Amino acid sequence: MILQSMPIFAQQQELKMATVMPKENNGTNATSLLNAFKSGTVSGHFRYFFMNTDNQNNLTDYYANAAGGRLKFETAKFYGFQIGVSGYFTFNLGSSDFSKPDSTTQQLNRFESSLFDIEQTSNKNNLAKLQELYIKYQFKKSNIVLGRQLLNTPFINTQDGRMMPTGVSGAWLNINDFKKIKLEGGWINGITPRGTINFYKTAASFGVYPTGVNIDGSKSNYHNNLKNDGVALIGIHYALNNELKFQFWNMFVSNIFNTEMVQFDWEHHLKDSSVFFTAVQGIHQVAVNDGGNADPSKTYFTKDQQTFAFGGKMGWRNKKIEASINYNRITSDGRYLMPREWGKDPFFTFMSRERNEGLGNVNAFVAKLNYNFPKSNFKTSLSYGYYHLPDVKNYKLNKYGMPSYAQINLDLRYSFSGLLKGFETQLLVVGKMNHGNTYQNDKYVFNRVNLVQCNFVINYNF
């Protein structure tokens, strides 16, 4: 929707599934509105996605075959204004029955179903949505966008590892006219989570995904029970010099919680054309009012709770290789909470196919190695992580009953050239091993640990 007037308030990267972000039409102003439409640009991508999760022997395995894509049209500039619209569509080419739970745990599929619509797991036909519908105004190097759009921030982002990414509706301002400072921010009043075909008011988007448990172990009951007007988000990027950069983010979720993030990134160029890099990050969260609802069983963020998280990374890279070690700590003061419907974790230790959201008292370690083959379009990435988490029955600090685990990701990508330019392939293999006490209860194992997952993706971008 195109929003009514509203106030404007002055990442970590996932190993994404060949993310295709919108192309911008940077041409000169059209001489008429008709000419702006006739001179507009069409872009998009087509995608095939195969996913298979092999769970522990006595638990159900799942697979999915999905095909679809995205089509976008954006007008040329007309007195600085542009209109953009895009839609996503998906077809189920043959998959497991996601409406059927695992017979041992009675839990539903977690991964493959999000290639389609997690709210209608039997829906194989009506899988399409209007993702973007906006009007943009460009002034100098800056712009403001009103309506449905895609955002990538530490807390709200596309998390484009499936068929349809997360999108938002609202107003977003980018100020790029200062030499060392970039400002961005806005007001968001709607979310369309990845793996769904609907837009929701921000309050209703909480709990579209599984909600876990309250701090006393009772089932969380905040879905459709929260009061919220929207989200104010601001980001400040400042280059102190050629090597040191700083960013600050603040997200105010009205009546529920507030989150602040500070991050410093430093890069030092060595004489052999390689780069040594390091970064540190800190995150702080507090409840706002009652955290969403005066009833503790229906609130999202426990009243008076505070959360602290900090992390760091260090690495080296050249044209062929990039290697890094990464660490993140969430203290035992409380759970780090961020709606999974809105985006992936901003931590340096983030790895595809798992998150540390909903947890406290976490120590996470990740080693990463990327290698680009010389004179080739072939790229590889290998990551290994160990995540020491609180006990699965420590409900105060473990919202989803996730045991400690180790994870290894192997990511292989190839981009075609020549006649097949535009085609990209990706193979992502994920292994997760249990390192915690599951009390011989498979509900703490199914789709969490002791699994191997294979993802194969073909993209055609234009």
Query: What are residue 245's DSSP bridge partners?
Result: 239, 265
Domains annotated on the chain, with CATH: 33-461 (2.40.160.10)
Q: Which residue reads 């010389």 in tokens? A: 374
Mean pLDDT of 184-198: 97
How many other CB atoms sit within 10 Å of the CB of residue 204? 17
Mean pLDDT of 272-300: 97
What pLDDT score does 28 carry? 61
Spell out a b/e string for 33-53, using b for 16 or more CB atoms within 10 Å of the CB, else e: eeebeebbbebbbbbbbbbbb
Q: Using the 8-state DSSP alphabet, how is residue 184 labeled?
A: E
CA torsion 335→339→345→351, rounded to 10°? 100
Write down the mean pLDDT value for the chain.
93
Q: Which two tokens stand for residue 244?
A: 């040191």
Whole-model pTM: value is 0.91
In the Cβ-directed half-sphere of 26, how many Cα atoms lie within 13 Å? Answer: 6
How many other CB atoms sit within 10 Å of the CB of residue 141? 11
pLDDT tens-digit series, residues 129-176: 999 999 999 999 999 999 999 999 999 999 988 999 999 999 999 999
Query: What are residue 145's DSSP bridge partners?
Result: 136, 172
Rounded Cα distance between 92 and 65, Å, is 6
Q: Are 146 and 226 in contact (CB under 8 A)?
A: no
* Nearest C-alpha neighbor of 251 from the set 162, 157, 321, 316: 157
**Per-residue pLDDT band at 12 (split at 50, 70, 90):** very low
What pLDDT score does 26 carry? 52
What pLDDT score does 161 carry? 86
Rounded Cα distance between 332 and 225, Å, is 27
Q: Which two tokens stand for residue 238?
A: 């400042």
Q: Using the 8-state DSSP alphabet, how is residue 401 labeled?
A: -
Query: What are residue 74's DSSP bridge partners?
Result: 41, 84
Mean pLDDT of 83-94: 96
Q: Are 142 and 177 in contact (CB under 8 A)?
A: yes
How many other CB atoms sit within 10 Å of the CB of residue 412? 15
What pLDDT score does 1 carry? 37
Mean pLDDT of 240-254: 97
* Nearest C-alpha neighbor of 428 from the set 459, 453, 461: 453
Q: Residue 83, SS3?
A: strand
Segment holding 35, helix H or strand E? helix 33-38
* Nearest C-alpha neighbor of 306 from the set 263, 261, 258, 341: 258
What pLDDT score does 198 carry? 95
Mean pLDDT of 350-363: 97
Backbone phi and psi for residue 357, each to the nearest 5 degrees, phi listed first: -65, 145
Segment holding 203, helix H or strand E? helix 202-205
Mean pLDDT of 244-268: 98
What pLDDT score does 252 carry? 98
pLDDT tens-digit series, residues 363-412: 999 999 999 998 899 999 999 999 999 999 999 999 999 999 999 999 99
Segment holding 172, helix H or strand E? strand 167-175
Query: What are residue 282's DSSP bridge partners?
Result: 262, 310
Decide if pLDDT at 325 tops 50: yes
Q: How many whole angstroms from its chain centre is CA 192? A: 12
405-415 and 167-175 beta bridge pairing: unpaired
Burial of residue 375 (number of CB atoms within 10 Å: 0-12, 13-18, 19+): exposed
What pLDDT score does 25 carry? 56
Decide if pLDDT at 9 tops 90: no
What pLDDT score does 6 carry? 35
Residues contacting residue 242 through CB under 8 Å, at least 6 positions apart: none
Decide if pLDDT at 24 tops 80: no
- Cα dist from 120 to 85, 129, 295, whole Å: 25, 14, 30
